[in-house]
Each structure stands twice: as C-alpha cells, then as structure tokens.
Structure 1
C-alpha cells in the first residue's frame, strides 16, 4: 500500500482525499473473520449470523383465531344465521371434531381453528341469546383467522448471513423453535493510544481510549486494551507486533499528523507491516493511516477526541462491520434543519456537534450548534444529540437549510 497509491485527480480536492474514497480504500481488501461459533438463540443478540437460518416448520403452525370471538361455518356466514353455541376452545386446546353448519364455537385468541369453521366473529360484534350467537355484523369467510404458514413457510430462509441479530430476530428464532444459531466470532480489536503528552500528572489525560472502548462495547467486537504508548518508535513497533499476534484490527489514536513526534506509520512499517497515510478532505479528522500487520488490519485515527470520534464513526465502524461479516454501510444520516446560519471555510466535509431544539412542520428535527467548533473541545460534543454533516464546497451555511445529521444516541 504505497502512500497515495489509490488517489487520482478526480478523488482529490486541494490535495486531500474525499472521505467516500477513503472509505472505499479501507474496505477494498477487508474480509470477514473466518472464525464462527454456535450459540444459544436466546443469547445471540448482537451477534452476526454466519449461516442462513432456514425455518424448520410453518409459522403459525396451524390455523388459529386472531382474537376472542365465535367461529362460524361457511353456510352460516352466507345465510346470516344465528347458530347454536357449542364448545369452547382456548389457546393450547385440541381443536376437536369438525363443526357442522348451524353450530358455532367459542374461540379465544390463539386457539386452533377446527375443521368446518370459515370465519371468526369478534365478540364485540356478537350477542348471545337463548344459547344462539347473533351477529351484529355478518362474518366474512376468512375473517380473523391466522392461516397456517401465512407468516413463515417451512424451508424458507428467514434470516441471512451478515445480519446482526436484535431482539426482534431472537423472537422469530424462538417462535420457530430454533435453539441454536451459527454466528461469526466477534472482531478482536487491540485498542491503544499514543502520545507522551498524555500524562495525568501534567493535567492531560487520555480520553480517546475510554471513548472508543465505550463505543466498541456496542459493536460486534471484543477489545484488548493495549494501553497508552509513549512517543518511542521502538516501543510502538514492539507493541504493534505483539497486538497483531491475536488481533483482527489494531485501532489507535494519535501519532499520525506528520510531526517529528508522530511515529505510528513508521513503527508499523518497522514491525514488518504495510502502511498508507491518507489526508482526508474532512473536518475534523484530516490525518489518517491504515495498513496491515500479519493477519491484523490497522487503523490509526487522529489524536484530538472529536476528530478521533468522527473518524471512527465514518470510517472505523464500517471497517469493523466488514470484518464482522456485516454489509459495510456509511453512517445513516437523519434529515435535519439548521436553526441558525453561519459562515465557514469551504473545501472539506465538516461534522459539527449539534443539539435538537425543536421540530419543523414536516416533523424534522431543528438543530443548533452546541458551542464553538474545535477538534479538541469535549463539552460541545458531550452536549450534542448528533453531528451535522456540512458538504465540502459549502461556504455559507444558511438558517433553515436541510442537512444530514449523524445521531449519537446509541452510538457514542
């Protein structure tokens, strides 16, 4: 991966690489981890399927009543008759013998529909008099009956590989009687920070590593904390080599901006890895390095915390998802309207911390900036509901303009 090998004039703006091209570069040779496991379905939330789930049976497994009511035969539906009330069938009861015309059955929600019943009249539309069921509204054939296999037919592939399982998927697996599923192992992430200046005794503390560890806790990853490394090329190279022995992804912040105290790219090369330094048309988060060491992918993010977070959300999370076996997607942006306009220097895509202050007539969130822009300012970031994405070539950002917002709730 020689520096600049992927860049062409159409991808560059003032010598900077467009963020979408950088994402394509990061993903182009990334492959999902090959390891997989078989886990109990009820414990599979957050795991990524490695094999398709095929339904072993129908769902529902039999015709059943969709509500509490009365089952009518087809002839009684057509004649608007008042059939005599026969037996009662609750959920879990056997349906029993076929029901003849002229007789109705009491059915509770989820009860099996016996042969001969063509419709279920909801109880609010029925009146009982002298042992007969009178319909206030005539039942229609098929009404209020859940048909066998109307949701899922046996043999259907209901969940596909690459899907990250949520509670709704666990519900489907349970309903189908799927006790175990095949999933990919979580991505093994070696997480480190770099910078001799990050010394609590000097009043500077490492906020990036805790921030990224918290973000990764909600991802299909297991994290090894490599720690804070000083600006020592040999120690960095040795730490990278040790991390690569067991990691799928080495993730770091700091040490990539290009000063004489920034050693991560050179240390990766010294450890025997491949490295490429990228300069992105993105603010914050212009400097970036990526590469490979043994079987581990490497992603080195900027050292300032807002820049590190923006780089992780826009580039690191899609890379992690590719390694986890998920379809990598750029961040989903929520359409939002800016309450107050401002001027900016065009040329780079910019992400600004914003809070939601209201709602437009269209139901879109109205947002405002949480404070002065700055890649090291944590208070505006902590007060933000999202990161507003400003297109690269826009200089005047008008009040009332519609922009995409990257929501932070559930992510960071």
Structure 2
C-alpha cells in the first residue's frame, strides 16, 4: 500500500462557526500525480476507510485522495473549560458547518500545506457515521457544486434538529447530482428521539423515489454503525462510489414523478433580458394587509401570505369575504437560519398550482394545499419576484432567469380547464 505523510493541524472558525476550534488530520499519499481528489471524513481518521481508499487507488479503481479527518469543534468557555460541540457541528439541518468546510477549512488546508486539490465536485467525497453520517448528507445537500460522492453509515436523522424533515424534502426537491451509499442496521436505536431504523428506511425510500444514484445496505442482527470500521465493507462501498470516475461525471439520473409534472427533466434556469410585466389585481379591502395577495386561476379564491410567516392562507371570493374567514391553505417548508421564512412573491399557473417564491426554493402548492414540489433557486442571491407566463420566471439580486414549464402549466387558453377542480 502506498506510503502516506500524516499531518496534524487545527483551525478556528471565523465567519462560519466562529470560535469553534477544529482539529484535523491530513493523510497525503506519497505519489506524483497532477492533482489529488478530496476525501473528507467526520470524526477524524477511520483507518478502515482510509486504507480501503488507498488500496483502490493503488489498483486504479479510485483516484489518490488527500484524506482530511476532521474532529467536531470545541469551544472554550469564559472560565477556561472546553466544551465539545459535536452536536452543534454535525447534528444541525443548516448549512453553516458545510460553509465552514467549503469556504474556510479546505482553502486553509490547500494553501497552508501547498496541496494541489482537484476543483471538480466529482472528485470530492464526504463520509461519516452516526452524526457524521447525517452531516455528510446535509453538507452535500447544501453544496452539490462541491461534493458529489457521499457515504453515510447509520445517519442520526432524529438526533438532529429538524433532521426528520430531510427524507420528505428529498422527495419534493429536484434530484441533486449526488451518488450516495447508505448503510443501516436492523438494531438501530429506538430511543427518546425516535426510531432510527424507521427513518433510515424512510430515507432509503425517499432517495429511490427521487431517482438518486444510490445504494442502500442494511445488516440484519447488527447495531448502530456496525460496519463503519470494516475495511472489507469499506472497499466495496468505495469501489461503487468511485465506479467509472474517469469516464462518467455524476449527474442527476431522474427527477421524482411530481417534479416531472412541473418541469421537463434536464431543464435549467437560463439568464434572460426581461421579467414579465405583472398586472395587479383589485384586492378586496379585507385582505389588503397581507404582503402578497393574488387570485386563484379560476378566480374562486384568493391566496394571501406574508414574508415573515410560513403560512399561505386562502379566502373564498364571495361577498362575505372577511379576514377572520381565512383558511389555512399551506404550511411552507423552512430551513433553520434561512430567512425570510415566508412568501417573497407568488404566482399561479394554468392548472391553479401556486408557486411560492421563498428563500429555500420555489414551493409549488396544489390547489388543495399540498406542497408536492420544491424547485431550486437559480442562484445563491436573494430572490425578489416570480411570474408564470410562457415559462417560469424568477428575478434575483443577480438577474432575471427563465425556465421552461411542462405544457399543461402554461396552457392558459384551455377551453375547459378554468372550470375543472384539480384535486388529485
């Protein structure tokens, strides 16, 4: 097996995870290559994973990787005591830890130790067990432009704040360009925070439903993270994760059936010159206090929402309309520390699907209140407005974007659709 150089280091978070001190170990293969791939491992060094990847690289089945084994952050208190921040690093459904790794840790490592690291996301793998497992998926979820290969063993979805929602968001969002290897065992914890095996299986079904490039292994009679440090198992999982790495980039192989009802598979946001002119409806006096109000496509109801409230309300468009007669129509999905939580703008299509522009994506609400699809935003700046005409348009701080919709969504001249109920 190829010799490696081991380097120990530490980094304190500045913009992301400020004050958290992270210790890390680097393993640098002593080989002459143009550039290295990246293998980021939670909870510092796992010899089984490290050695399996080296063996695969020696056999030509995987690239040589800079192995980064990182420990959870620690925080020094005013009295000098040091507090472990594992949960505050790993078990959060937000992007701050991922941003720390992508924007602070990796640039620091490559610059300080003069490492020639590939910039291709296809050459970046992330791995972890338990809390490190869910953190691996969350990091790739928020940064698919950086990480494309994910190994998670017994991921602790239920120990994470809001982590229980991720398996359901997987079904609703567009499928991301990720290859995921997921391990679980029959005897996962059934504890105060929930049944881990159950949500592992829910995640499995969600990833399959959404069409991910994905493999699931479940071990009967075994317990939590039972094969995380099994080198033979590690060899098999990484061989699959890196298959065809030299010839086939990782892409999203499909979208879920619901997403396919809204956008053609393979369509992308494209910059355009102009945002469509929007007409302003005459809003009833009783509901003018909302930030956003618009009529349904059939004009039988009004949709109303505020920027800082995660609820979309519905009002029946009759003479008795009054603010106290509001109907809770849809509860918007939110992600911790991404603001605002409510509607930034709204639009409807030709099948009375409501498009709610939010800070986490375009949330598509069926006419009976179900959010079944969430479309990714076109860029990473704050969205400003949305419109549906011949296509879907979104304006952000960076520009105006256009994206094709499926034909039914833009067929506003259909002779009978206006009088059809869209309850499915």
Query: Where on the TM-score scale, by shorter chain, does this alignment land: which range?
Result: under 0.3
Greater C-alpha Rg: 1
Q: TM-score, normalised by structure 1?
A: 0.21
